[in-house]
Structures are given as C-alpha cells and as structure tokens.
Amino acid sequence: MDLEFRHLKIVRAVADAGSVSKAATHLGVAQPALTAQLKRIERTLGGSLFERDRNGARPTPLGELVLTRARVLLPAARDLQEEALRFANAGGGIPTYRLGATNGPILGGLVDRLAATHPATPVRTQTSWSAVELTTMVVTGRLDFALVGSCGDTGPPAGEAIMWINIAVDPVFVLLSEEHPLAEKKEVDLSALAEERWAVAPGDGCFADCFAAACARAGFTPQTIYETDVATAVHLAQVGRAAVLCQAAFALTPGLVMLPLVGAPLRWRHLLGYHPDGCAARAAALVAEHAKAAHHDAVERSPRYADWLVRNPGFGTAP
C-alpha cells in the first residue's frame, strides 16, 4: 500500500483526539474499521505509530516523526488545492499576491493598491531583514514577489533566473531629535555628525561597508552603531541617543526631523524581484506600476524629500 494524504489525516486525527475511538467518532467511521486502517498504515511505514492502552493513544518516536511531516504536508496540500481553484476561477490569472519585503516605504501602499484594484485576489505578506532570504523564497516558489533594497549601484541578491525591476532610488537621510543642535539645518554634512552614535536596521547587503566608507571620506570613524529594529532606532533618535540613517521616503515620526546629507553620499535602490517562469510573471508589470505609485505617494507625504528632489532630479520613483 502506498502512503496517501488520507492516511496522514488519520494519523493526525488519532494524535489530536488522543484515542482511536474518539478519532473514529470525529471522522465518522466505525472504530474497528479505523483500527484496521491504522494497522495497514503502520505496516506501510514500518512500525507502530502509537502506544495504545486503556488511557488512550500516544505517539511513538516514529509516530512523532510522521506527525511532524503530516502537519507540514497537509496544510500545504490544502493551500495548493485552494490556490489551484482560485487560479482556475481567475481564468489563468495570478490566484494570490504573495509579497515579501525588507524594511521600506513601499509595502503598505502596494498592499492597499492591490487590494483596492483587485479585491477578489488575496494579498499575503511576509517581512524579513534579509533580502537573500526573500529572494530564495521567490526562487523556491514560496513568494511571488520580493521588494528588497540594494546599496548604491550594488546588484540585487543573486538568485537563479530572478528578474528585477527598478522601482526607485532614494538618498539616505538622517533622523535626529527635534532638540538636536542641527535640527534647524536644511541639510547637514556627514562630517558634522562625527561625534554621534548611530542606529541602523539590520540587513545582509553592503550598506554597513558603504556607510563606513562614506564616514572615512568625511574624515571620521563612526562611534557606537546600534543595529536594531526600526521602532527601537526611532526611539533612540527621539530621546537623542542616536542618529538614524533612513530612506528619504521614510514616514516621519513626531519628535524627529529628517535632514538630507550634503552630496547624498549614500543611496538606496528599491527593487521588485520575480521568477519569469512563475504565473506571477504575468502580473509583474502591473505590480511594479503599483509599487512605483506607492513609492511616489510616500515621497509626496515627505515635504522635505519632495523639496530635495526638485534640486536633485536623478533620484525618486523610476519612470
């Protein structure tokens, strides 16, 4: 007998119910029939899956192994069935927008636009500090699109056959407390921040090296660098404990000012990645346009950045 998904459902039902009799009631079958089926499954898998006595049924080590796999495979099979049905009902269109993103100003607006424009197509999201992780998920089919960033002219994460669309190029600005002595400046030279402590969000690209090189060109080596989540970085800036490097389209938080750095020594590219052989490829141009519109909206919400762009037209949302 070959193992089938229905056999895994039986094993899971017995484990969840704690006894064969309760599982039989839940499944709507006679206990003797379920017991016989369970024995056939155990012969197929090479050993007992449960220790059974008058107190119920408890998984053996082999049973635990099978249950661990079953609890991954069964939901995956259900998701596949649901997605296949949505795909068929969509006439061959993308059944679900599965989006992954690193920290940035685009994801929220993109979700909103997709949900408003295509209300019948579910949108799922996943965030990570690792662009490499998200790229791998696109390669393996676990995500349709990845919104990631790369420093300066550095290429996107390597991924077999992944296609990349340039969404925008932002300068990196600095967040300071409203009480900071430089808060009234229109822009600030990086060298003026030589004595600051810094806070940055983690990442697996070359941004840390690019920042160190920019500081070296400005004549100093940065002091303490706190690598932390965005909320903590913002708090450290609000209380005057750190200067925070941020993308220029960052949504400004009360208590902070966002200042351009003279000469824009650091840049950040926003990229949308997808696999050209996946069904998501049909929607790539559409998703990219929504992503660009979401970035443009973020720029419009940042008067400091919008004003800066007038004098620096080489940045901003891609055409």
3-state secondary structure 54-112: CCEEEECHHHHHHHHHHHHHHHHHHHHHHHHHHHHHCCCCCCCEEEEECCCCCHHHHHH
Q: How far apart are CA 182 and CA 15, in angstroms?
A: 64
94-319: CATH topology: D-Maltodextrin-Binding Protein; domain 2 (3.40.190)
Intervals of CATH 1.10.10.10 along the chain: 5-89
Neighbours of 111 (CB within 10 A): 18
User: Counting beta carbons within 10 angstroms of the beta carbon of residue 245, is it exposed (0 to 12), middle (13 to 18) or buried (19 or more)?
Assistant: buried
Instruction: Give one DSSP letter per residue of 177-198, joined into a string.
Output: ETTSTTTT-SSB-GGGGTT--E
Query: Packing angle between helix 5-17 and helix 31-45, nearest 10 degrees?
Result: 120
Intervals of CATH 3.40.190.290 along the chain: 94-319
Which amino acid is residue 13, in one-letter code? A
End-to-end CA distance of the chain: 59
- Full pLDDT tens readout for the chain, 319 residues: 788 888 999 999 999 999 998 988 888 889 898 889 999 998 999 999 999 888 889 999 999 999 999 999 988 888 777 666 655 654 456 778 999 999 889 999 999 999 999 888 889 999 999 999 999 888 888 889 999 998 887 777 765 678 999 999 999 999 999 999 999 999 999 999 999 999 998 888 888 889 999 999 999 999 889 999 989 999 999 999 999 999 999 888 889 999 999 999 999 999 999 988 877 888 999 999 999 999 999 999 998 999 999 999 889 999 8
Number of helices (H), then strands (E), in the chain: 10, 12
Neighbours of 64 (CB within 10 A): 13
What are the φ and ψ backbone dihedral angles of 92, each rounded to 5 degrees? 95, 0
5-89: CATH topology: Arc Repressor Mutant, subunit A (1.10.10)
pTM assigned to the model = 0.71
Q: DSSP label at 261?
A: B
CA quadruple 226, 167, 160, 80: dihedral sign: positive
Residue 79, pLDDT score: 76
What is the bridge-based pairing of β-strands 163-177 and 267-274? antiparallel
Q: How far apart are CA 68 and CA 78, in angstroms?
A: 16
Name the residue among 318, 273, 319, 303 with its Cα closest to residue 173: 303
What are the φ and ψ backbone dihedral angles of 24, each rounded to 5 degrees? -60, -40
Residue 87, pLDDT score: 59
Largest Cα–Cα distance in the chain? Answer: 81
pLDDT in tens, 184-193: 999 999 999 9
Residue 92, pLDDT score: 53
pLDDT in tens, 267-283: 999 999 998 887 788 89
Residue 99, pLDDT score: 96
Residue 83, pLDDT score: 65
Residue 163, pLDDT score: 92
